[in-house]
Amino acid sequence: MQDYPPARIRNVALVGHGGSGKTSLAEALLYRAGAISRLGRVEDGTTVCDHEPEEIARTMSLSLALAPCEFEGHKLNILDTPGLADFVADVEAALRVADLVVFVVSAVDGVEVQTRAVWRMAAERQLPRMVFVNKLDRERADFERTLDELREVFGTGIAPLELPIGLASSFHGVADLLTDTAYLYDGGEAVAAEVPEEMEAQEHRVHDTLVEGIVEADDALLERYLEGEAPSFEELEGVLAQGVARASVFPVVCGSATLPVGVDRLARFLCEIGPSPLHHPPVRVRAGDVEVEVAPDPDGEPLAFVFKTIADPFVGRVSVFKVLSGTVRPDDHLVNPRTGDDERLHALFGLRGKDHVELAQVVAGDIGAVAKLRATTTGDTLAPRTQPVVVPPLEPPPPSLSIAVRPRTQADDDKLAGALHRLGEEDTALRVERHPETHQTLLQGTGEAHLALALARLARTFGVTLDTEEVRVAYRETITQPAEAEGRYKKQSGGHGQFGIALLRVEPLERGAGFEFVDAIVGGAIPRQFIPAVEKGVVEAMEQGGVHGFPVVDVRVTCLDGKFHAVDSSEMSFKMAGSLGFREAMAKAGPVVLEPISLLAVVVPDHLLGDVMGDINARRGRVQGTEPLGSGEQEVTAMVPSSEIVRYAVDLRSLTGGWGRFSARPDHYEVLPAHLVDRLTAPVPA
């Protein structure tokens, strides 16, 4: 693949709801560009971008894939993103390096939930956007309905550049509204023709509306237009390109990725009106405590941002990066400011699915890959040692679902830590936590599909098989009233025995106060050196669990009195006395179980507010309030028992059809109702 200057590079992210045809469109773009000789099919597992076994088995994209190609003197870096909300981290990574976002929308299903979610993400970053209405060859396809929905959801910036010729089985071409030209397909390249007579009136009407909308953005062009002078195609295209780059105009083109019809037209639009990296605002980087801007200058100091890491079974860790400044060449040395390590970039290559395409260099604005960097992971910066600036890292989405895992065999246990570390380098949205109270290893991610993929990849790539179990909730115990008890530990087995007696009083403390030990011994009833042993015995008994087997909190324990033996008393005997005394006193002090309560914030469309609030009430939650967010959404905040939202990510998606999103964080503990205590199972000791 030859070198291209930044002005002729297009970094294009294909985004949209799952099943809208993003991967098929990437395949069709590669085919029309001549990068592949035949069209693969998602259903057959033969596409370039969906090459992982899990993707082939599920017939859907599960991770970000790259597919560079050359088209009419330009380099297109196509970033094919997954459509499931579980894999939003890969969408975030693509948006960080894309200069144009193409939303793939099904003409059958319309504007679906994930399309809206990603549009919101792109709008927050003020990224240029355009829309490809796909699947016009399918039954029930409706371009007009889809266009109306696009305008309703995304506003007046939606600007159709094409109309379909025919629909469903009769779809065979597109009408270009800028040039009043039809492009007809008969299994091969497009053939220019006159617009069909039956759609001339519609085409001219939409053409006039489009031209009026374009010229309004340019005062000189508008003045000439009002004087009756028709603007040229080149002038219209130039003004349109400016509007796209400013993210004020969102062109809509159409076609079918599987035929493929209209795909070559899309590729041409990407080259002609799509912004290059030079149109992207300079990247703000941090040099110490100072922020500076870096422009995509091929002659500047080399600076690269790693936005994706891939665990390749043959070459090891592959780091995929975008060059933000300068030109990166094989065997260059750059520094990772996070670690301070010097990284040597050996052979550079581009990724086309799983295939490596050798690159002589990677210029500013372009995307490349390198294998076997020592300590560089996703979100890291590669900078010159003389200017170790840092690009803001990627912020992984917070986990919304956890599963408890355990190694199936000892061999799996031996390899687990290293495998999880390597998988975490590749997937920053994946987290591993060892819960200190339930003693479970928790694998945390963004949804069921995300965690299922992680388990499958651990088994396939790293040879680690894990079993799953139900996530246990970290219940605790406390007391509701004072009580006293005497702990006696007497043991005689020949020689020195064990003797220790400690009289203890337990009292409840305020919620969240923890533990307090009071030494009230007078007159040497227990020698000073043994008092810490009593406290240690109490603490261990609290950690091992109270009446119901859960850790005990919010208790004051006072050591009132005791007895010792000059020969048989020891630290061990008073530790046991403290433990026994505490257990007996707690049983008499009105023990109760405490359950963790989470602060839950749920964002849903207005029409689903009642359903979500009813569901929260059914989970023993207490709604704290609602707040309108605009754009037809409401945020509900509530206090909900953590045990009721262990699988809330799955339940909310089912309840709202994917429209709802939430965040939850631990807030406090409350007494568990008595009728629910008997349902609990004490945690299994570690």
Q: What is the pLDDT of residues 352-371, one digit of tens each?
A: 999 999 999 999 999 999 99
Q: Tell me what pLDDT residue 147 has.
A: 97
Q: Tell me what pLDDT residue 228 has.
A: 86
Q: Does residue 508 have a cis bond before it (omega within 30 degrees)?
A: no
User: Where do the structural domains in the chain lie, given as residue ranges?
Assistant: 6-168+247-279, 283-382, 401-469, 476-590, 594-677
Mean pLDDT of 382-399: 92
Q: Tell me what pLDDT residue 223 has.
A: 87
Q: What is the pLDDT of residues 622-640, one digit of tens each?
A: 999 999 987 789 999 999 9
DSSP assignment, residue 551?
A: -
Lowest mean per-residue pLDDT among 245-254, 397-406, 495-504, 632-641? 495-504
Mean pLDDT of 91-99: 97
Q: Is 385 exposed, middle or buried (0-12, 13-18, 19+ CB in 10 A)?
A: exposed
Same fold for the domain at 283-382 and the one at 401-469?
Answer: no
Q: What does the alpha-carbon distance between residue 596 and residue 591 come to, in Å, rounded to a whole number? A: 16
- Regarding predicted confidence, which is higher, 681 or 570? 570
Nearest to 357 by CA among 595, 109, 67, 84: 67
Q: What does the alpha-carbon distance between residue 419 and residue 184 come to, in Å, rounded to a whole number? A: 52
Q: What does the alpha-carbon distance between residue 683 and residue 681 come to, in Å, rounded to a whole number? A: 6
CATH number assigned to the domain covering 6-168+247-279: 3.40.50.300
Q: Tell me what pLDDT residue 681 has.
A: 54
The answer to whether residues 77 and 11 touch, using CB atoms and an 8 Å cutoff, is: yes
State the DSSP string of 333-389. EEEETTTTEEEEE-SEEEEETTEEEE-S-EETT-EEEEE--SS--TT-EEB-TTS--
Q: What is the pLDDT of residues 609-623, one digit of tens each?
A: 999 999 999 999 999
Q: Tell me what pLDDT residue 682 has.
A: 46
pLDDT band of residue 188 (cuts 50, 70, 90) is: confident
Residue 234 has pLDDT above 80, yes or no: yes
CATH class of 283-382: mainly beta
In the predicted model, what is the mean pLDDT of the chain? 93
Chain center to CA of 353: 21
Q: Which long-range contacts (CB under 8 A, 24 or more apart) does 391-395 make?
A: 391/283, 391/285, 391/303, 391/305, 391/324, 392/284, 392/285, 392/286, 394/89, 394/92, 394/93, 394/96, 394/307, 394/428, 395/92
Residue 491 has pLDDT above 50, yes or no: yes
Q: What does the alpha-carbon distance between residue 244 and residue 380 come to, in Å, rounded to a whole number? A: 30
Q: Tell me what pLDDT residue 315 has.
A: 81
Residue 684 has pLDDT above 80, yes or no: no
Q: Tell me what pLDDT residue 271 has.
A: 97
Q: Tell me what pLDDT residue 568 has.
A: 87
Lowest mean per-residue pLDDT among 193-202, 328-337, 424-433, 506-515? 424-433
The answer to whether residues 342 and 333 touch, using CB atoms and an 8 Å cutoff, is: yes
Q: Tell me what pLDDT residue 494 has.
A: 63
Q: What is the pLDDT of residues 307-325, one digit of tens each?
A: 999 987 778 889 999 999 9
Q: What does the alpha-carbon distance between residue 587 and residue 615 come to, in Å, rounded to a whole number? A: 37
Q: What does the alpha-carbon distance between residue 406 and residue 468 come to, in Å, rounded to a whole number? A: 6
CATH label, 594-677, candidates 3.30.70.3340, 3.30.70.240, 3.40.50.1010, 3.40.50.2300: 3.30.70.240
pLDDT band of residue 276 (cuts 50, 70, 90) is: very high
CATH number assigned to the domain covering 476-590: 3.30.230.10
Please give the backbone phi and psi of residue 22, each rounded to the nearest 5 degrees, phi first: -65, -45
Residue 163 has pLDDT above 90, yes or no: yes
Between helices 609-618 and 648-656, what is the axis angle to 10°?
140
353 Rama class: left (phi>0) / alpha (psi -120 to 50) / beta? left
DSSP assignment, residue 548?
A: T
Residue percentage of the chain with pLDDT more than 70: 99
CATH label, 401-469, candidates 3.30.70.870, 3.90.79.10, 3.40.50.720, 3.30.70.890: 3.30.70.870
Q: What is the pLDDT of residues 191-201, one digit of tens each?
A: 999 999 999 99
Mean pLDDT of 48-64: 95
Q: What does the alpha-carbon distance between residue 609 and residue 591 come to, in Å, rounded to a whole number? A: 39
Q: Tell me what pLDDT residue 495 has.
A: 65
Mean pLDDT of 592-614: 96
Residue 411 has pLDDT above 50, yes or no: yes
pTM: 0.90
Residue percentage of the chain with pLDDT more than 90: 84
Residue 1 has pLDDT above 80, yes or no: no
Q: What is the pLDDT of residues 657-675, one digit of tens each?
A: 999 999 999 999 999 998 8
pLDDT band of residue 327 (cuts 50, 70, 90) is: very high
Please give the backbone phi and psi of residue 248, each rounded to the nearest 5 degrees, phi first: -110, -20
Residue 422 has pLDDT above 90, yes or no: no
Mean pLDDT of 87-111: 97
